[in-house]
Amino acid sequence: MTQPIHSTPRPACPVSTIDPFSDAFLGDPYGFHEELREIAPVFWLERYGVYGMARHAEVQASLMDWETFCSGRGAGIEDFAKVKSWRPPSKLLEVDPPIHTRTRSVMSRILSPAAMRQVRETFTARADALAEAVVAKGEIDAIKDLAEVFPLHVFPDAVGLRSEGRENLLPFGNMVFNSFGPPNAIFRESVANAKPVVQWIYDQCSRDMLRPGGFGSQVWDAFDAGEIDAEEAATLVRSMLTAGLDTTVNGIANAVYAFATHPEQWRALRDDPSLIRQSFDEVLRWEAPVQTFFRTTTREVEVAGTTIPEGEKVLLFLGAANRDHRKFPEPERFDIRRRPIGHVAFGAGIHSCVGQLVARLEVELILTALLKQVDIIELTSEPIRKLNNTLRCIGSLPVRFKPLAH
């Protein structure tokens, strides 16, 4: 038996020995989610000495209550009040108001509906061209040939990055998302070659590396306007590079996976393309790319009869909350006609995903382009999972796109 990392006194709630960062859990979390949801609204994860919540009501309420469940002590397993973060903390994800309010307003302006209208035409042309290419190929790996290609083709250009070195973007994201969990073998493998990758990312965040007019350069405009300082500006550009790729890659991957395994849902989408945007919410509910995040309690708090002391890490199971039958009837069923209002795949409250319009645009355009050309998406062999401490990832997804007869 592995010893718990912390030696907090026995908590006033049920204890679980489940390891949410084990290969078994990450490879197939849903049975474990069910177990965690049914133990109690709040439980203690003995393996790591942290609290956990997996029901929708408590996950959602904790996300909304940022004063009690803060982000400034880290959104990962480490408490920044006790250990120094391996990277300078994010000025968006890992801060609380009032700093957060300021940085967030800069980011939400840059990633606003108006900004999406400006990039929409370029993104659409690229989605159409890519869809045509993969349909012409017929059999593809939907990860290497589609899900990784599209975000990498549109987002770095929109941010205004140079071309050289973009192969560092996905490894960096993979590393950061692993680092929110414990330093297990999955994490260690992802940081084996960290140095040059991290260096390249940090180099891209300075003003002179960013094309004028792009999202990155607009962050620096906010520095000129006196809204943020230089360190905040560079770190906010880093946030775009961290949060903007691996998430959307897996959002697209999970969408293709969902439709490949539910051909009747693809047909339903063809019959009514007005469902495209809401179908992405159902993909997010059913297979959330970001599965978990931590918060830290700023005071003693009672949740559903359990008293959690101050300074405790709480693991919020977003993916489990999205499959809570108390909130979503028949939660295991992927059904694009359901309106999955209230799913927490983008979080909730003041930290809810600020880049979600970009993610929504990318997936809308890819699905729209594929829908025009593809009759059926078929798996040609079993998908291979890629394990990550935070993300629900697919490593390889062999599919056949059967073209529509014209």
Q: Which residues bind ligand 8QM (CB under 6 A)?
A: 90, 92-93, 239, 242-243, 247, 290
Give the integer Cα–Cα distance in Å for 256 and 269. 13
From residue 89, alpha-carbon distances to 83, 96, 239, 356, 361 in Å are 12, 12, 10, 21, 28
**Smallest gap from residue 180 Cβ to ligand 8QM (A):** 8
Cβ atoms within 10 Å, residue 80? 16
Strands (E), 250-380: 292-297, 301-303, 306-308, 313-317, 374-379
**Smallest gap from residue 157 Cβ to ligand 8QM (A):** 20
**Smallest gap from residue 242 Cβ to ligand 8QM (A):** 4
Looking up tokens 């659409």 gives: 124
> Which amino acid, 161?
L
Give the integer Cα–Cα distance in Å for 132 and 35. 43
**Smallest gap from residue 130 Cβ to ligand 8QM (A):** 23
**Smallest gap from residue 174 Cβ to ligand 8QM (A):** 12
Query: Residue 346 corresponds to which tokens in the numbers above?
Result: 């983008």
**Smallest gap from residue 72 Cβ to ligand 8QM (A):** 13
Give the integer Cα–Cα distance in Å for 79 and 312. 8
Q: Is 124 exposed, middle or buried (0-12, 13-18, 19+ CB in 10 A)?
A: middle
**Smallest gap from residue 382 Cβ to ligand 8QM (A):** 28
**Smallest gap from residue 5 Cβ to ligand 8QM (A):** 23
By the 8 A CB rule, do 190 and 178 touch? Answer: yes
Q: In what order do the strands lie in the sheet with 139-141?
A: 139-141, 398-403, 374-379
If the CB atoms of residues 269 and 358 are measured against ligand 8QM, the closer one turns out to be 358
Give the integer Cα–Cα distance in Å for 204 and 392. 27
Give the integer Cα–Cα distance in Å for 90 and 242. 10
**Smallest gap from residue 228 Cβ to ligand 8QM (A):** 14
Q: In what order do the strands lie in the sheet with 50-53?
A: 15-16, 43-45, 50-53, 313-317, 292-297, 69-70
For residue 294, the cross-strand partners are 315
If the CB atoms of residues 141 and 246 are measured against ligand 8QM, the closer one turns out to be 246
